[in-house]
């Protein structure tokens, strides 16, 4: 079933811009500086969490000035919906990261169930250390674990339904150049 494109366009037309493209790009630059300072000598394996992490990872990786191995994984709780369900693995990591530093790049730390499951998966599969970088950390008290925090955060935002820079609204607007909040959500 395809989405009603008129409704999808209306969501964008009415959306509130929380962060402009320039603000997001500056945040990505800050994250890159921090990662370059801390992981440059660690020979990390970097995993992009698909699909949401794709744009952030693509922009961030070109700013990391050290050797790394890159792959992807795909685990989701949303499956084109606006609320999360159980964790579903679409693709597990294919590069060995046993006794290696791992950097997981994702779009958002909302409640964090997906990210927490990915971190645990990597630890149990033999990673020496697992680091996380997220473009957005949503500000609320519903995290999967009280201690769940990303190591590198681009921006913190209010607790609204957001899209853009990899985050979607019903599968659309991942390509929006900025971070937007759905009107009323």
Please tell me the pTM assigned to this model.
0.90
159-163-169 Cα angle (round to 5): 105
DSSP codes of every residue in 29-79: HHHHHHHHHHHTTS--EEEEETTTTHHHHHHHHTT--S--EEEEEEEES-T
3-state class (DSSP) for residue 157: strand
**pLDDT tens digits in sequence order for the chain, 185 residues long:** 456 999 999 999 999 999 999 999 999 999 999 999 999 999 999 999 999 999 999 999 999 999 999 999 998 765 555 455 566 788 888 888 999 999 999 999 998 888 998 998 899 999 999 999 999 999 888 887 888 899 999 999 999 999 999 999 999 999 999 999 999 88
CA-based end-to-end distance of the chain: 23
The CATH class of 22-181 is alpha beta
């Amino acid at each position: 079933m395809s989405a009603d494109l008129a409704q999808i366009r209306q969501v964008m037309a009415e959306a509130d811009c929380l962060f402009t493209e320039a603000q997001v790009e500056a945040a990505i630059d800050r994250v890159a500086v921090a990662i370059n300072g801390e992981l440059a000598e660690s020979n990390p394996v970097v995993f992009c969490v698909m699909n949401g992490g794709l744009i952030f990872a693509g922009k961030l990786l070109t700013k990391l000035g050290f050797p790394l191995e890159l792959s992807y994984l795909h685990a989701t709780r949303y499956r084109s919906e606006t609320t999360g369900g159980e964790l579903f693995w679409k693709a597990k990591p294919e590069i060995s990261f046993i006794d290696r530093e791992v950097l997981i790049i994702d779009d958002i730390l909302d409640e964090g169930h997906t990210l927490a499951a990915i971190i645990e998966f990597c630890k149990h599969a033999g990673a020496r250390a697992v680091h996380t970088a997220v473009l957005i950390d949503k500000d609320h008290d519903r995290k999967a674990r009280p201690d769940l925090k990303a190591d590198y955060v681009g921006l913190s935002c209010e607790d609204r339904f957001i899209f853009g820079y990899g985050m979607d609204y019903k599968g659309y607007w991942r390509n929006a150049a900025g971070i937007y909040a759905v009107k009323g959500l």
